[in-house]
């Protein structure tokens, strides 16, 4: 049985260069094995089958890949993007030139397996915090060049995207304060608000209760509780919640795992950022089963 979710579309402008690169590095001037072994006119049908339980992400990429390898190959999805699937589920069907299908096989599976793996791991984290108010967020710890895809896969798994890069949000960390001559947090936040675009979010990283107090006094929009033990995190959340006025968003970060994320969520934080969603996800086991089609 599958469960469907609504997803925003992939950004085609960002995806197509990645697809072209994948085709160039794998097919190059041509799939010599298929071209030498198979008759040019042989037709085939391929079915993508998942061999594991998980969440599907990346199906919209398959027709983009096929469109650049051979536009005459047809694609039909059999489940919705973001579906929760069981082993043996058929995900999609393609039909057309056997040479083209075999040429595109590994490229399409690389995208599907990687993105479905990210979505599946994200869904596992989301399940662990169910019943709390915490959201699971990704980080910038992504595969170079794949950030838009991997963050898309996080959404497919029910997670939420953090900032896309260094350009769309201020995040003041200890290294920034150190390299600015131990600048006070209040001054750092004030400088950021004076120089960054109006309305841009300003977040401050805090590793101690004293730093939480500084971030509160500075008026940070988000306070990141970094690598805090549960007891200290609980104390920090209570301090922030009791602060007069609009309380900032509270984010927890640092060495979050499936074993610890539930306890972190129960401290009352709003966000939990998890680097392993994108840097350590295991590829979902998906196969392309190909059969010849009679003329």
* Active site (catalytic) residues: 106, 141, 173, 205, 226
Contact between 31 and 99 under an 8 Å Cβ cutoff? The reply is yes
CA distance 195 to 222: 18
Contact between 58 and 153 under an 8 Å Cβ cutoff? The reply is yes
Q: How far apart are the first and last CA of the chain?
A: 34
Q: Which of 40, 15, 12, 19 is nearest to 102 (CA)?
A: 40
How long, in residues, is the chain?
A: 295
**Rounded (5°) CA angle 25-30-31:** 90
Torsion region of 134: left, alpha or beta (phi above 0 gives left; psi -120 to 50 gives alpha)? beta
CA distance 190 to 206: 17
Q: Are strands 222-226 and 249-253 parallel, antiparallel or unpaired?
A: parallel
- Give the burial string for 185-205 (b: 16+ CB within 10 Å, else e): beebbeebbeeeeeeebbbbb
Residue 41's Cβ-side half-sphere holds a number of Cα atoms within 13 Å equal to 2
CB under 8 Å to 118, separation ≥6 — which residues?
A: 57, 150, 153, 154, 156, 157, 277, 278, 281
DSSP structure class, residue 149:
H
Residue with tokens 């967020």: 137
* Tokens, residue 221: 């929009």
* Tokens, residue 167: 């350009």
């Amino acid at each position: 049985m599958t469960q469907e979710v609504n997803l925003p579309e992939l950004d085609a402008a960002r995806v197509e260069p990645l697809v072209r690169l994948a085709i160039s590095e794998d097919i190059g001037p041509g799939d010599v094995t298929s071209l030498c072994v198979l008759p040019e006119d042989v037709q085939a049908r391929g079915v993508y089958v998942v061999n594991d339980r998980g969440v599907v992400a990346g199906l919209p990429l398959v027709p983009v890949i096929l469109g650049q390898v051979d536009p005459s190959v047809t694609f039909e999805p059999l489940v919705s993007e973001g579906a929760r699937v069981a082993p043996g589920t058929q995900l999609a069907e393609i039909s057309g030139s056997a040479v083209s299908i075999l040429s595109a096989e590994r490229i399409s599976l690389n995208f599907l397996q990687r993105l479905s793996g990210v979505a599946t791991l994200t869904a596992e984290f989301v399940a662990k915090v169910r019943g709390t108010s915490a959201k699971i967020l990704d980080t910038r710890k992504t595969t170079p060049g794949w950030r838009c895809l991997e963050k898309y896969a996080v959404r497919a798994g029910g997670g939420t995207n953090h900032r896309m890069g260094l350009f769309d949000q201020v995040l003041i960390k200890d290294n920034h304060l150190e390299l600015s001559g131990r600048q006070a947090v209040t001054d750092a936040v004030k400088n950021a608000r004076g120089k960054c675009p109006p309305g841009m979010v300003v977040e401050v990283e805090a590793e101690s209760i004293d730093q939480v107090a500084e971030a509160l006094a500075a008026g940070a929009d988000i306070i990141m509780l970094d690598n805090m033990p549960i007891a200290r995190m609980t104390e920090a959340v209570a301090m922030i919640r009791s602060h007069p006025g609009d309380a900032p968003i509270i984010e927890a970060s640092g060495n979050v795992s499936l074993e610890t994320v539930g306890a972190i969520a129960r401290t009352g934080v709003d966000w939990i950022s998890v680097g392993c969603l994108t840097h350590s996800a295991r590829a979902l086991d998906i196969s392309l089963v190909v059969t010849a089609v009679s003329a």
